[in-house]
Structure 1
Amino acid sequence: GINCVFSYEPTSGPFGEKIKEALIKKEINSQDLRVLFLKDRKWHVENIIIPALEAQKWIILDRYYLSTLAYQSSQGLSLRELLIENETIAPIPDLVIYLDLPVEIAFKRIGNREKKITIFEKREFLEKVIETYKRCIKLFNYLIIDATKSVEENLKYLLEFLDSKFKGSLS
């Protein structure tokens, strides 16, 4: 097998918790949020990502700076500046896996979960974010997965893709 580290953003570190709180309270402007995301990412890189890379582990992240590019540029911040800021502090991912889901289905799933709705979860805004994701993903080595399919179908597809890309190293 392959040694992996699983992580997510916003993190459970000091800045990640501030982000989660701000998103739920809806009391933060886009510039302040940008700064918090950068601080959280820097903390994440220094405390989780770099140590894992140095130990030659694979890193699987639920969200990374592509999310920042999509969400924050959809709030009017400069995509180019966001890209430069993030590439300055964070390693470029080897592969980005994008779960493609229509807004209608995303809203049904958001409504079914127990978490509180954040400032980012409004229909018009999410449509803009999806459009930006689809534009930005082309900057990376990427795989798009149809998130309307079952978890089992997508897992099978993903494992086949990874196995072919990394020539049997998953077995």
Structure 2
Amino acid sequence: MTAGRFLTLEGGEGVGKSTQARLLVAALESRGVHAVLTREPGGSDGAEAIRALLMQGDVRRWSAHAEALLFAAARADHVEKVIQPLVGSGSWVICDRFIDSTRAYQGAQGIDDAAILALHAFGSRGLLPDRTLLLTLPAGEGDARAMARDGGEADRFAARDTDFHRTVVATFDRIADSESERVRRIDASGAVDAVTERLIDAIADLLP
């Protein structure tokens, strides 16, 4: 049986994670790799219920500490019920956001990285992806894309101010710098199919 893999796509608002996650699944399937798309927060019944609490309502609905706990709970259910069983059965799981988004978004609100990782160690037994693909765009381009995408209906996180999102991007950069064996930066500019090819190139060493 082919070994399963766990890949995540990360990045700030508007970089095309969801689009590229779908295209990556299709590209893997075309190469004979069974791939499954999932997302965070969400991906399992319990985690999707928590997603509704996290993504809707006023920006101030939850404190940063409460958000971190909710994300950890959703992820624990997602990992146990979906990710680990699929990878264990030989599937490749492609996840739109994972622990690094919590580190970036809740970290931007002052939650210590060590505390976030401790919650992850408890709830999800410290599971990390085989490869994390960090999509990047020049400053401002992602914001413009996100505005066009949301049409004035941004969720609780996308609706936050520019300084917040700059801090999020900077945190992703720090994670990529410190964990370069796992995290690969991917230029998300240009045609969508060209970006997908960059993703495939970044996981070529993992392909069967």
Query: Structure 2 length as normaliser, TM-score?
Result: 0.73
**Is 2:137–2:187's contact at 8 Å kept on the other side of the alignment?**
yes
Tell me how far 1:15 sits from its aligned partner: 3.9
Q: In the alignment, what sits opposite 1:166?
A: 206
1:46-65 to 2 correspondence within 5 Å? Answer: 46-65=80-99
Tell me the distance in 1 between the aligned counterparts of 2:121 and 2:52: 23
Tell me the distance in 2 between the aligned counterparts of 1:61 and 1:22: 18
Tell me how far 1:128 sits from its aligned partner: 0.2
1:62-141 to 2 correspondence within 5 Å? Answer: 62-88=96-122, 89=124, 90-114=126-150, 116-121=153-158, 122-137=161-176, 138-139=178-179, 141=182
Q: Give 5+ residue unaligned stretches, structure 2.
A: 1-31
Larger RCO (CA under 8 A, 6+ residues apart): 2
Query: How many positions carry a matched residue from both structures?
Result: 167
Q: Which amino acid aligns with 2:156?
A: I
Question: Which has the larger displacement, 58-67 or 148-157?
Answer: 148-157
Residues 34-74 of structure 1: CA deviation (Å, up to 9, x unaligned)? 11101100110011111112202111110000111111111
Residues 13-40 of structure 1: CA deviation (Å, up to 9, x unaligned)? 3343333444331211111111110110
Q: In the alignment, what sits opposite 1:17?
A: 49
SS of match in other structure, 2:109: coil
SS of match in other structure, 2:106: helix
Q: Give 5+ residue unaligned stretches, structure 1.
A: none
Residues 73-105 of structure 1: CA deviation (Å, up to 9, x unaligned)? 111001111122213414111100000123411
Q: Which amino acid aligns with 1:119?
A: R
Identity over the aligned pairs, expressed in percent? 25
- Deviating beyond 4 angstroms after TM superposition, the runs of 4 or more aligned structure 1 residues are none
